[in-house]
Amino acid sequence: MREVAVVGIGSTPTGELWDQGLRDLAADAARAALQDAGLETVDALYVANAFGASISTQSHLAPLIADYAGLRGIEAIGIEAADASGGAALRTGYLAVASGLVETVMVLGVEKSTDMIGAARVRARAVSLDSDDEALHGATLSALAALLMRRYMYEYELELSAFEGFSINAHANGAKFAGAMYRNILKPGSFARAPMIADPVSLFDGAPDADGAAAVILTSHARAADLVPQPVRLVGSGAATDSLALAERDDPLWLGAIERSTAAALAMAGITRDQIDLFELHDSFTIMAALALEAAGFAERGEGWKLATDASIGLTGDLPIATFGGLKSRGNPVGATGLYQAVEAVMQLRGTAGANQVAQAQIALIQSVGGVGSSAFTHVLAL
């Protein structure tokens, strides 16, 4: 198995980008990544997208995007795992380069979440839940997160305010980053005043749907050193799943896919949790951040929320998360989110994160999660 490195990154700002289509956003990110790597082309393109068919009436995206990115004709494949599509595609690209059969791969995520509004978008997004057991009965991802959050609050006797530290941290970081979707500061007490989406999940709790595209270019570590002064190595990759339907799980408050994919990635990288300098986790809802910290082994069960109550998760804390605003403030371009995490982690390790820099970052953990923990892809990047 060959060692793999990231030699190029590119991304668009996130937001409601109504002037740009899927192909435009994707081409922008692709060109930026090629320029960053100093490459004219790549051998393969893996495209992560969650709602092309249901929101944008466009599937078979991979050849389309290859063409619009100036790469017509290369190998191109679409990868889907709901909001974990980006992480799934990163793993697919990693395996392709590691095999020795594909020299250089662009892994690109793109989403146009905001081309539908209101109930139409809610229905279009619900295709990624269990259609028979969840979506048919009116469940949405926000509603499932609300069920998890309420159960967690009950089990551990918590108030709503226990969670708001995650959103406050995300917005504090996003406010410093020009590419973020919502750069406003949130203050303590915000959750108590926020409009409810699905009680107890509020507008200030759930991450906003966004449009955007992000790409990384992978190649063998041997070749990477010739291309760029500072290749970032991809040293660990783990993948796992759980039932698609939340109700099928014996223990809904334990996200087993996150536990197992994290353990696999860390074991492969040969590192321990205390070596990790930052953790880009899937903060689609604050409850998902709390549960991810527990399942990934950074907090005891029932105590993930505590990390958000002091400076632990801040840029200067023990375990910085959402360093560019995370899903909550930077925005959640669903299928592309896992690639934004990868781009941001590479910027941290290169030391080019500007106002969002984590000092002396050497090792980053990134984690892409689909639904309420049905899919989880975890990667370790290191200098």
Cis peptide before 195 (omega within 30 of 0): no
The total of other beta-carbon atoms located within 10 Å of residue 19's CB is: 7
Q: Give the one residue of 9, 27, 66, 139 binding a copy of itself; rule: CB under 8 A.
A: 66
Q: Which stretch binds a copy of itself (CB under 8 A): 90-98, 189-197, 284-292, 351-359?
A: 90-98
The verdict on 336 binding a copy of itself (CB under 8 A) reads no
Our CB check for a copy of itself shows the closer of 105 and 347 to be 105
What is the distance between the alpha carbons of residues 260 and 242, in angstroms, rounded to a whole number? 10
Residue 132: enclosing H or E segment and its boundaries? none
The verdict on 244 binding a copy of itself (CB under 8 A) reads yes
Our CB check for a copy of itself shows the closer of 173 and 378 to be 378
The verdict on 80 binding a copy of itself (CB under 8 A) reads yes
The total of other beta-carbon atoms located within 10 Å of residue 44's CB is: 23
Q: Give the one residue of 74, 246, 346, 347 binding a copy of itself; rule: CB under 8 A.
A: 74
Structure tokens at 117: 């509004």
The verdict on 114 binding a copy of itself (CB under 8 A) reads no
DSSP per-residue codes, 312-353: TTSTTSSS-BSTT-HHHHH-B-GGGHHHHHHHHHHHHHHT--
Q: Give the one residue of 107, 240, 336, 347 binding a copy of itself; rule: CB under 8 A.
A: 240
Q: Which stretch binds a copy of itself (CB under 8 A): 5-13, 130-138, 223-231, 310-318?
A: 130-138
Our CB check for a copy of itself shows the closer of 131 and 352 to be 131
Sheet-wide strand order for 278-280 = 44-48, 104-112, 211-220, 4-11, 232-241, 375-382, 363-370, 278-280
Q: Taking a C-beta distance cutoff of 8 angstroms, is the pair 382, 349 a contact?
A: yes
Our CB check for a copy of itself shows the closer of 122 and 311 to be 122
The three-state secondary structure class of 375 is strand
User: Minimum Å distance from CB 102 to a copy of itself?
Assistant: 7
User: Minimum Å distance from CB 82 to a copy of itself?
Assistant: 4
The three-state secondary structure class of 217 is strand
The verdict on 135 binding a copy of itself (CB under 8 A) reads yes
The verdict on 253 binding a copy of itself (CB under 8 A) reads no
User: Minimum Å distance from CB 155 to a copy of itself?
Assistant: 23
User: Minimum Å distance from CB 243 to a copy of itself?
Assistant: 5
The verdict on 59 binding a copy of itself (CB under 8 A) reads yes
The verdict on 273 binding a copy of itself (CB under 8 A) reads no
Long-range contacts of 243-248 (CB under 8 A, 24+ apart): 243/374, 244/129, 244/130, 244/134, 244/371, 244/374, 245/129, 245/130, 245/133, 245/134, 246/134, 246/144, 246/147, 246/148, 246/372, 247/133, 247/134, 248/133
Strand partners, 368: 377
What is the distance between the alpha carbons of residues 143 and 139, in angstroms, rounded to a whole number? 6
Q: Nearest 5°: phi and psi at 297?
A: 90, 15
Q: Give the one residue of 64, 181, 210, 215 binding a copy of itself; rule: CB under 8 A.
A: 64
User: Minimum Å distance from CB 284 to a copy of itself?
Assistant: 14
Structure tokens at 179: 């590419």
Our CB check for a copy of itself shows the closer of 90 and 345 to be 90
User: Minimum Å distance from CB 110 to a copy of itself?
Assistant: 13
The verdict on 102 binding a copy of itself (CB under 8 A) reads yes
Cα dist from 366 to 28, 96, 146, 285, whole Å: 23, 19, 24, 17
Binding string, 180-199, against a copy of itself, x = CB under 8 A? --------------------
Q: List interacting residues with a copy of itself (CB under 8 A).
A: 1, 21, 23, 44, 50-54, 56-64, 66-67, 72-82, 88, 91-92, 95-96, 98-102, 126-132, 135, 237, 239-244, 248, 256-257, 260, 370-371, 374-375
